[in-house]
Structure 1
Amino acid sequence: CGPGNSATVEDAATDYEFVIKHLVKIRTVGVSDSTDYPKFDLVLLSTGSDGHVDSLFPNHEAMELKDDWVTYITDSP
């Protein structure tokens, strides 16, 4: 998904998850001992005017996804 591409949010999420999994595989990014999910030293988040954090909306169906490392939202409340 480079500049000028008309990639969808689905494509961007898939590509980003692939990159993270590759970085974990080659040990550039470490994993949690208890979950095997990536362990980041720093994560930048922002909050929306209603208090949501980085498109994580309470009770949104995306919060139920447990197998995906990356998701997206096209229907923010």
Structure 2
Amino acid sequence: MRRILVTGGAGFIGSNFVRMVLGEHPDCFVVNLDKLTYAGNLENLAEFLEHQNHKFIKGDICDGPLVEQIIDEHQID
């Protein structure tokens, strides 16, 4: 199974990208990292929060140690 990291996945573009990947690529696991600022909204991801191929993590892409941990822990391709 491919594993991808999407940053900003709770925003308009990111959530639509997550929707497309999960809908068209059932062999992909999406790790979704979003800080949930003004542009990010968990309601955009409501249909995926319990999806078996989706993991949401609230965090900042500028947090290098967090991003490294996510990449290692989830074996991002």
When normalised by structure 2's length, the TM-score is 0.26
- Structure with bigger strand share is 2
- Structure with bigger helix share is 2
